[in-house]
């Protein structure tokens, strides 16, 4: 989680902690928790679209289908050598019986931002007022989750601008701000333990690859146990 926030605040407000109090705060917390300086530097550089050596990062996606469950996936990659990363991931996908094939048409790209109140006892405020301000700022939909956080849905090209504008206007903290792949149609239910286990194994292997930023899949819990589903779900998303 430290790495994610370091990258986010570097991207939104710049890489210099002297000019970026949000970044400075996360750096201090990460250091206290024992996060190595090299890892902190990598996360900050990633927020600027750079590798740890200063070279530019390239983005890419790998589209995958799992025949055993008919689950479609999109793997988000950020790498200083995307051809190498794609080649490596194709090997992993093949090893776990997945097929590299077009699946992006089953998803739509959306911006998703989570704003949370600042301070342990703070509240988000009147939702109707938040909703109107969010829509005026460019959000297409607004939700409030069970923890009282405000979730903004936007078009990808305005995600970070809307996040910063609303956070400032509402006095809230940007907890996350990402562009995701959301399934466009009904999700595939996981009913068979064997198929769910195969999907879990592939997801776990893919998530271990360092250049993978996120994995999206059009799946949901069916008849498999809650315990098995959680082991699948923990590998999905960002």
The answer to whether the beta carbons of residues 84 and 132 sit under 8 Å apart is no
Per-residue pLDDT band at 222 (split at 50, 70, 90): very high
Q: Is the pLDDT of residue 229 over 70?
A: yes
- Cα–Cα distance measured from residue 106 to residue 93, given in angstroms and rounded to the nearest whole number: 19
Looking at residue 226, what is its pLDDT? 94
* Strand ranges, E, within the chain: 58-66, 71-79, 99-100, 107-117, 141-144, 150-154, 172-183, 188-190, 212-217, 219-221
Mean pLDDT score, 218-236: 94
Q: Which domains does the chain have, with CATH numbers?
A: 2-47 (1.10.10.200), 58-238 (3.30.70.980)
Q: Which of 115, 125, 133, 132 is nearest to 172 (CA)?
A: 115
- Cα–Cα distance measured from residue 106 to residue 181, given in angstroms and rounded to the nearest whole number: 9
Q: Which of 193, 160, 197 is nearest to 179 (CA)?
A: 160
Q: Is the pLDDT of residue 43 over 80?
A: yes
Residue 196, classified by CB atoms within 10 Å of its CB into exposed (0-12), middle (13-18) or buried (19+), is buried
Q: Is the pLDDT of residue 201 over 70?
A: yes
Question: What's the Cα-to-Cα distance from 156 to each of 30, 129, 207, 212, 235, rounded to whole Å?
Answer: 29, 24, 24, 20, 23
Angle at 107 between CA 221 and CA 67, to 5 degrees: 55
**Cα torsion 47, 49, 54, 59: sign:** positive
Give the pLDDT confidence of 139-153 residue by residue, as tens digits.
999 998 888 889 999
Mean predicted lDDT score pLDDT of the chain = 91
Mean pLDDT score, 38-59: 87
Q: Is the pLDDT of residue 53 over 90?
A: no
Looking at residue 123, what is its pLDDT? 57
- Cα–Cα distance measured from residue 82 to residue 114, given in angstroms and rounded to the nearest whole number: 29
Looking at residue 203, what is its pLDDT? 96
Looking at residue 124, what is its pLDDT? 60
Looking at residue 88, what is its pLDDT? 98
Looking at residue 120, what is its pLDDT? 58
Mean pLDDT score, 90-107: 97
């Amino acid at each position: 989680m430290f790495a994610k926030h370091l990258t986010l605040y570097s991207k939104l407000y710049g890489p210099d902690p002297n000019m970026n109090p949000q970044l400075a705060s996360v750096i201090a917390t990460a250091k206290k928790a024992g996060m190595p300086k090299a890892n902190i530097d990598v996360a900050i550089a990633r927020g600027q679209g750079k590798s740890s050596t200063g070279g530019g990062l390239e983005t890419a996606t790998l589209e995958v289908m799992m025949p055993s469950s008919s689950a479609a996936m999109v793997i988000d990659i950020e790498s200083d050598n995307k051809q190498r990363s794609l080649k490596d991931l194709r090997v992993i996908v093949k090893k776990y019986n997945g097929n590299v094939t077009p699946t992006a048409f089953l998803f739509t790209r959306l911006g998703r931002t989570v704003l949370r109140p600042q301070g342990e006892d703070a509240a988000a405020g009147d939702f109707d007022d938040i909703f109107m301000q969010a829509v005026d700022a460019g959000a297409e939909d607004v939700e409030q989750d069970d923890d009282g956080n405000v979730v903004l849905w936007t078009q990808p090209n305005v995600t970070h601008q809307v996040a910063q504008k609303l956070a400032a206007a509402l006095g809230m903290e940007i907890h996350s701000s990402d562009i995701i792949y959301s399934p466009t149609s009904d999700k595939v239910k996981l009913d068979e333990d064997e198929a769910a286990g195969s999907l879990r194994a592939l997801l776990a292997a893919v998530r271990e690859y360092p250049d993978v930023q996120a994995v999206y899949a059009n799946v949901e819990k069916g008849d498999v146990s809650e315990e098995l589903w959680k082991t699948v779900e923990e590998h999905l998303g960002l």
